[in-house]
């Protein structure tokens, strides 16, 4: 009964099935199927769980599948009551043969975890190389674009992306915005951000936006909370500077724009420094 209740709880989270199936139709479906585990059933029948691919759901919830693989005879000892030759009831220990269900426990996404870790490590080698470049000098949009190209090529090799996926990503206007944002963040040397953590953050964000949350988490977990807060603060301040620069440009004040933008950056840097000092004093 406990297994049935557990199965029913998971079935209620099935997303793309009919209300009838969720109600009691699943009992009949499972009875007619060799697969009894709800998550394995969802995987085999392309059913999503809480709006997610069943394997992804199993991954995030650390779900293990228990599969019955047959019956095994075992001998156990039991206390039984029986009458002796004198007709008196007597408790004796006897050996009894019983059927025991053999259960195999498997992790349907173990290979996915292994692949995510392996792919993350391969991307990390690209990040390390690019960090050396970003630390020693300012980077250009062209160099950042090439870096993201290399990231996507590696993801394609690992079968996370297809060529069609890559072409679609590049056509998205937000992709170019992401390149420019990455360039601005890496070139904000006065904010003294950790370059490697900054690239971890940008690659993590990029992977999240293209639907690779597991790869994204791999990189986000590598960033210290303090560095993550500084990256967030810096992004906001750079965005404010660019916004003011764009307003000045629209008003036709191109001549004074560079000086004004630099002034805004200095103010922004001062704000960030003040915030850091306040945090240290707490």
Q: What is the pLDDT of residue 199?
A: 96
Helix ranges, 100-224 (H): 110-136, 141-157, 163-171, 173-186, 195-209, 213-220
State the Cα–Cα distance between residues 94 and 76, nearest whole angstrom. 8
Give whole-number Cα distances, 203 to 41, 48, 135, 256, in Å. 34, 27, 17, 35
Q: What is the pLDDT of residue 80?
A: 79
Q: What is the pLDDT of residue 207?
A: 93
Segment 36-92, tens digit of pLDDT: 788 888 887 889 999 888 888 887 888 877 655 444 566 777 777 777 777 788 887
**DSSP strands (E only) in the chain:** 65-83, 89-106
State the Cα–Cα distance between residues 161 and 166, nearest whole angstrom. 7
Answer whether 14's CB lies under 8 Å from 53's CB: no
Strand partners, 101: 71
Claim: this prediction has a pTM higher than 0.75: no
3-class secondary structure per residue, 244-265: HHHHHHHCCCCCCHHHHHHHHH
Average pLDDT estimate for 181-199 = 88
Asked if residue 213 has pLDDT above 90, the reply is no
Query: Please, which residues have CB within 8 angstroms of residue 258's CB and are 6 or more apart in sequence?
Result: none
Segment 104-148, tens digit of pLDDT: 555 656 666 777 888 899 999 999 999 998 988 899 999 999 999
Residue closest to 144 by CA, chosen among 114, 91, 108, 185: 185
């Amino acid at each position: 009964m406990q297994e049935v209740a557990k199965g029913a709880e998971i079935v209620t989270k099935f997303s793309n099935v009919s209300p009838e199936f969720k109600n009691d139709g699943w009992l009949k479906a499972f009875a007619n199927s060799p697969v009894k585990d709800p998550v394995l059933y969802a995987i085999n029948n392309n059913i999503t769980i809480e709006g997610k691919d069943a394997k992804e759901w199993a991954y995030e919830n650390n779900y293990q599948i228990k599969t019955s693989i047959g019956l095994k005879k075992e001998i156990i000892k039991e206390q039984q009551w029986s009458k002796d030759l004198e007709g008196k009831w007597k408790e004796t220990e006897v050996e009894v043969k019983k059927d025991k269900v053999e259960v195999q426990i498997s992790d349907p996404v173990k290979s996915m975890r292994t692949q995510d870790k392996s792919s993350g490590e391969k991307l990390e080698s690209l990040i390390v190389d690019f960090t050396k470049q970003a630390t020693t000098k300012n980077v250009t949009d062209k160099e950042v674009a090439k870096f993201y190209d290399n990231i996507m090529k590696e993801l394609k090799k690992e079968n996370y992306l297809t060529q069609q996926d890559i072409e679609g990503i590049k056509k998205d206007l937000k992709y170019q915005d992401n390149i420019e944002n990455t360039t601005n963040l890496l070139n904000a040397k006065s904010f003294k951000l950790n370059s490697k953590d900054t690239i971890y953050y940008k690659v993590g964000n990029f992977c999240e936006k293209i639907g690779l949350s597991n790869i994204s988490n791999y990189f986000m977990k590598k960033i210290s909370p303090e560095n993550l807060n500084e990256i967030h603060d810096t992004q906001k301040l750079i965005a404010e500077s660019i916004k003011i620069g764009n307003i000045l440009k629209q008003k036709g004040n191109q001549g004074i724009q560079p000086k004004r933008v630099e002034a805004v950056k200095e103010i922004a840097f001062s704000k960030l420094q003040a915030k850091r000092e306040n945090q240290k004093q707490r």
